[in-house]
């Protein structure tokens, strides 16, 4: 082997140590010492390359940008009674009030813009996907206009992004604004919008023909949220998602979703969200009824978080909340993602003058 001169002293590195590997590349022409059996070492030359630039791909690796966030989970002890029995927790739809305690964990959050180069994502793989698709509607100030116009845009987007769709039923949308007087704030708690039972109820409720609804339930169907920033980039309180591949069934805790009681026939899901209730009634369930069931998420060190830094109104995210053929369900397929926990979070790198986040999420039943 060629002798190593003082100008070419080896740089110690372990296989898989991306930091050291990067340093080697940045130096242009160096050597790495790689471990062999019985702790023998050999010298392997690394070909001369151009100096590394931030976020450039190195060999088969990509160095993603990252941030951190403090994430709110449900405290699992909140669903256990004094006698050890299960006590089902509840959460209100019109105010940030729950019957359970929360616990916080600090986690790293990977920028999906970089990670997507080396990690496969998709609604059937990770439970989420990102898209670029400018919309003509940009203000989203009129709910009826959203239903009449933007819903069709969302359906077209879904059919383009996901093959095999036969029917789409859009049943709800929510516009969130991080403004002092807004009743709909970004949700700062890890959650999934529907449990399997709640998803089935949605089909029967929103498919007009009862016979057709029962037939559709027998096949594959999903609930997918289509999320998009409004007006400006979602730098403030960005949306974070958890890769389904890093979740376990025991992470999911069913929670009753309470809505203000309504008159019969008033089926809009936005009821009660536009007016903030009296703070004196926050802890009371009087005047409320169970109209849904969601998942709160228990803490796990295995959870892997992603976000799209500075996502613009021309971009968005598909968030899977349910899939009737996902792994673990009757007739499910191994490795098929069922859901993705998601939440808004505080990015410590957010500039002080960043505009408050505004976003729209459209909830869709998707049938195959």
For 233-292, the pLDDT digits (tens) are 999 999 999 999 999 999 999 999 998 887 655 555 544 454 555 555 556 788 899 999
Helix (H) or strand (E) holding 152: helix 151-161
pLDDT at residue 144 in the model = 87
Cα–Cα distance between 94 and 92 in angstroms, integer?
A: 6
| Contact indicator for 126, 337 with CB cutoff of 8 Å | yes
| Contact indicator for 297, 192 with CB cutoff of 8 Å | yes
Q: Which residues contact 77 (CB under 8 A, 6 or more apart)?
A: 101
Tell me what percent of the residues of the chain surpass a pLDDT of 70: 75
At CA 175, angle to CA 365 and CA 291, rounded to 5? 55
pLDDT at residue 221 in the model = 99
Q: Which residue has 């006698």 as its token pair?
A: 83
Q: Which residue has 């039972």 as its token pair?
A: 197
pLDDT at residue 59 in the model = 42
Asked if residue 31 has pLDDT above 70, the reply is no
pLDDT band with cut points at 50, 70 and 90 for residue 16: very low
Across 47-51, average pLDDT: 37
Q: Which residues contact 148 (CB under 8 A, 6 or more apart)?
A: none
Cα–Cα distance between 190 and 240 in angstroms, integer?
A: 9
At CA 212, angle to CA 211 and CA 213, rounded to 5? 90
Long-range CB contacts (within 8 A, 24+) of 86-91:
88/254, 88/255, 88/256, 89/253, 89/255, 89/256, 89/296, 90/255, 90/256, 90/257, 90/258, 90/285, 90/290, 91/255, 91/256, 91/257, 91/258, 91/294, 91/296
The predicted-structure confidence for 94-147, as pLDDT tens digits, reads as follows 888 899 999 999 999 999 998 877 789 999 999 999 999 998 888 888 888 899
Asked if residue 63 has pLDDT above 90, the reply is no
Give the chain's end-to-end CA distance (angstroms, integer).
Answer: 62
Asked if residue 299 has pLDDT above 70, the reply is yes
Query: For the ranges 15-29, 167-181, 266-280, which has the lowest average pLDDT?
Result: 15-29
């Amino acid at each position: 082997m060629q002798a190593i001169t003082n100008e070419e002293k080896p740089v110690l590195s372990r296989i898989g140590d991306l930091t050291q590997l990067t340093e080697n590349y940045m130096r242009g022409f160096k050597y790495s010492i790689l471990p062999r059996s019985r702790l023998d070492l050999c010298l392997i030359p690394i070909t001369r390359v151009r100096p590394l630039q931030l976020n450039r791909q190195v060999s088969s690796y990509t160095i993603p940008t990252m941030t951190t966030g403090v994430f709110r989970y449900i405290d699992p002890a909140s669903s256990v009674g004094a006698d050890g029995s299960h006590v089902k927790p509840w959460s209100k739809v019109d105010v940030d009030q729950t019957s359970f305690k929360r616990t916080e964990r600090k986690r790293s959050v990977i920028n999906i813009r970089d990670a997507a180069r080396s990690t496969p994502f998709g609604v059937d793989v990770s439970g989420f996907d990102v898209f670029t698709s400018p919309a003509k509607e940009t203000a989203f100030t009129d709910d009826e206009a959203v239903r009449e116009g933007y819903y069709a845009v969302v359906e077209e987007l879904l059919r383009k992004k996901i093959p095999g769709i036969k029917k789409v039923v859009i049943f709800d949308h929510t516009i969130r604004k991080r403004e002092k007087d807004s009743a709909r704030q970004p949700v700062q708690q890890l959650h999934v919008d529907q449990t399997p039972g709640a998803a089935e109820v949605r089909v029967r409720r929103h498919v007009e023909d009862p016979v057709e609804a029962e037939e559709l339930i027998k096949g594959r169907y999903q609930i997918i949220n289509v999320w998009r920033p409004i007006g400006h980039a979602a730098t403030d309180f960005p949306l974070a998602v958890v890769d389904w591949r890093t979740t376990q069934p025991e992470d999911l805790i069913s929670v009753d979703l309470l809505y203000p009681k309504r008159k019969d026939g008033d089926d809009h899901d936005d009821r009660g969200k536009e007016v903030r209730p009296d703070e004196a009634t926050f802890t009371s369930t009087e005047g409320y009824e169970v109209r849904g069931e969601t998942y709160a998420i228990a803490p796990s060190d295995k959870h892997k978080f992603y976000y799209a830094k500075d996502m613009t109104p021309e971009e968005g995210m598909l968030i899977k909340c349910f899939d009737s053929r996902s792994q673990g369900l009757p007739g499910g397929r191994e490795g098929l993602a069922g859901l993705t926990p998601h939440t808004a979070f505080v990015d410590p790198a957010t500039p002080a003058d960043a505009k408050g986040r505004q976003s729209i999420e459209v909830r869709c039943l998707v049938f195959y």
